[in-house]
């Protein structure tokens, strides 16, 4: 059982946060809140979805682009899904983008364009789970919800010297956070815990000497902070293989298609690839090509997903006629705007095709961005 006094703990943490909080574009600072400003639920939600499995540094530019193009949830709800996927390209975990769009539409149609104000109601929306619902409810609506991300897990396991390994210890950690969360300023408390983990209670070489909650920390007293959190031994990462086929017209346009709406990289654009997945290899070799052409192997690329690593053979061909398969031609200057995930941009790079800088064998002009078989 914890011996931490929640009132004393939150007072010490919030006093530190008032001075040392991170300045983030989606945040309202303690001083702004004291002056009457309130967080925008749309901005909090957008940032939290983007921050799932992604660093703050990587998110900032995408957040700014999304906010500039779709400043409110109604704007995002009205956007075509393809446009949302294209703006998301490169940020990874693409199911988040589809759920983001679905959630915006649900907020617009089912809630009159206003986000629900409780964690329970927020959790019913597409793409919002335990953590995100708690974070939005606490930060935007001052619900004293237990907000637990990776930073908070690290802080709490050190505070309490929790020996149970992750992920099994997650329910215990959440209960500890719930016991510490104050009714006053719960949103600032949640952000303070995250900031503490990000800047002081770091994975390696934590700055225990200047930690504002050092007097409450068991791991500091035993000089064993870096032992925590204890993690279960990871299983070996599976290796998967497949092939990608980059067809290029004489004018440099590249043939792309859209992946199925569900599953890995759902709805994103790609040069045709074989049926690889997290559980199975795709076909290999020239015989797996989607249509006949003078294919030549130019190399291979590797890409790491959360639960497996993928190696793709890269095959190239120059074709003059439209292939009899679903897809479209993307001209060199159009490629940068396509909804291509990082792994597919690696494929194009291996084929010596950059974002808008394809090789250009001599040929006459071709129709701009011609789409075939209605799959646009």
Task: Look up residue 98 and give its two tokens.
Answer: 């589809």
DSSP letter, residue 287: G
| Beta-carbon contacts of residue 170 (< 8 Å; ≥ 6 apart) | 148, 153
93: left (phi over 0), alpha (psi -120 to 50) or beta: left
Element (H, E) at 276: none
Please tell me the number of Cα atoms within 13 Å of 47 on its side-chain side. Answer: 21
48 is catalytic: yes
| Strand ranges for the chain from DSSP E | 239-248, 254-258, 269-270, 296-304, 309-318, 327-330, 371-372
The span from the CA of 34 to the CA of 54, in Å, is 30
**So where are the chain's domains?**
6-227, 239-372
Note the pLDDT of residue 78: 98
3-state SS of 43-57 is HHHHHHHHHCCCCHH
Find the radius of gyration of the CA atoms of the chain. 24
Residues of the chain with pLDDT under 70: 1, 354-376
Q: Which two tokens stand for residue 18?
A: 């008032």
What superfamily would CATH give domain 6-227?
Answer: Hypothetical protein; domain 2 (1.10.340.30)
| pLDDT recorded at residue 261 | 85
Same fold, 6-227 and 239-372: no
Give 27: exposed, middle or buried? Use CB within 10 Å, 0-12, 13-18, 19+.
Answer: buried
Report yes or no: 94 and 270 within 8 Å, Cβ to Cβ.
no
What is the pLDDT, as a whole number, of residue 370?
36
| Contact assessment for residue 173 and residue 162, using Cβ atoms and an 8 Å cutoff | yes
**CA nearest 304: which of 340, 271, 342, 273?**
342
240: three-class secondary structure by DSSP: strand
Give the pLDDT confidence score for residue 1 in this predicted structure. 56
CB atoms within 10 A of CB 369: 15
Candidate CATH numbers 3.90.79.10, 3.55.50.30, 3.40.710.10, 1.10.3720.10; the one for domain 239-372: 3.90.79.10
Give dist(CA 241, CA 237) in Å, integer: 13
* pLDDT score at 364: 35
Q: Which residues contact 326 (CB under 8 A, 6 or more apart)?
A: 257, 258, 372, 373, 374, 375
> Cis peptide leading into 285, omega within 30 of 0?
no
Tell me the CA distances in angstroms from 225 to 155, 204, 207, 208, 253, one per residue in order.
Answer: 9, 9, 10, 8, 55
79-82 contacts at long range (C-beta below 8 A, 24 or more positions apart): 81/267, 82/267, 82/339
Task: Read off the pTM.
Answer: 0.80
Annotated active-site residue in 48, 143, 153, 338: 48
Which pLDDT score is estimated for 263? Answer: 84
Long-range interactions of 348-351: CB distance < 8 A, separation 24+: 348/246, 348/254, 348/271, 349/301, 350/298, 350/299, 350/300, 350/301, 350/314, 351/246, 351/248, 351/271, 351/298, 351/314, 351/316
């Amino acid at each position: 059982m914890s011996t931490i006094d929640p009132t004393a703990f939150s007072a010490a943490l919030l006093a530190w946060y008032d001075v040392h909080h991170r300045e983030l574009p989606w945040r309202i600072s303690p001083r702004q809140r004291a002056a009457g400003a309130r967080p925008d639920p749309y901005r909090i939600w957008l940032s939290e979805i983007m921050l799932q499995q992604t660093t703050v540094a990587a998110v900032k530019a995408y957040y700014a682009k999304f906010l500039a193009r779709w400043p409110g949830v109604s704007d995002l709800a009205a956007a075509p899904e393809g446009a949302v996927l294209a703006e998301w390209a490169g940020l990874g975990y693409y199911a988040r983008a589809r759920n983001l769009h679905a959630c915006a539409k649900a907020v617009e149609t089912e809630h009159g364009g206003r986000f629900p104000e409780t964690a329970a109601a927020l959790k019913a929306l597409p793409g919002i789970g335990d953590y995100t619902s708690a974070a939005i409810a606490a930060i935007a609506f001052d619900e004293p919800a237990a907000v637990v991300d990776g930073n908070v897990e690290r802080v709490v396991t050190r505070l309490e010297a929790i020996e149970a390994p992750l992920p099994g210890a997650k329910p215990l950690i959440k209960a500890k956070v719930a016991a510490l969360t104050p009714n006053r300023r719960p949103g600032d408390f949640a952000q303070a815990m995250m900031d503490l983990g990000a800047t002081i209670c770091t994975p390696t070489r934590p700055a225990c000497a200047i930690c504002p909650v050092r007097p409450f920390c068991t791991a500091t007293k035993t000089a064993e902070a870096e032992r925590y959190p204890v993690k279960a031994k990871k299983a070996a990462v599976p290796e998967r293989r497949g092939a990608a086929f980059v067809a290029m017209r004489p004018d440099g346009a590249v043939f792309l298609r859209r992946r199925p709406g569900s599953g890995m990289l759902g709805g994103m654009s790609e040069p045709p690839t074989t049926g690889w997945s997290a559980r199975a290899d795709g076909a290999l070799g020239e015989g797996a090509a989607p249509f006949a052409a003078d294919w030549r192997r130019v190399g291979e690329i590797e890409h790491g997903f959360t639960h497996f690593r993928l190696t793709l053979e890269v095959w190239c061909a120059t074709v003059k006629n439209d292939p009899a398969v679903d897809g479209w031609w993307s001209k060199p200057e159009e490629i940068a705007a396509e909804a291509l995930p990082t792994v597919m941009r690696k494929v194009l790079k291996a084929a010596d095709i950059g974002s808008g800088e394809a090789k250009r064998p001599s040929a006459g002009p071709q129709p701009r961005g011609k789409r075939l078989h209605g799959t646009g």
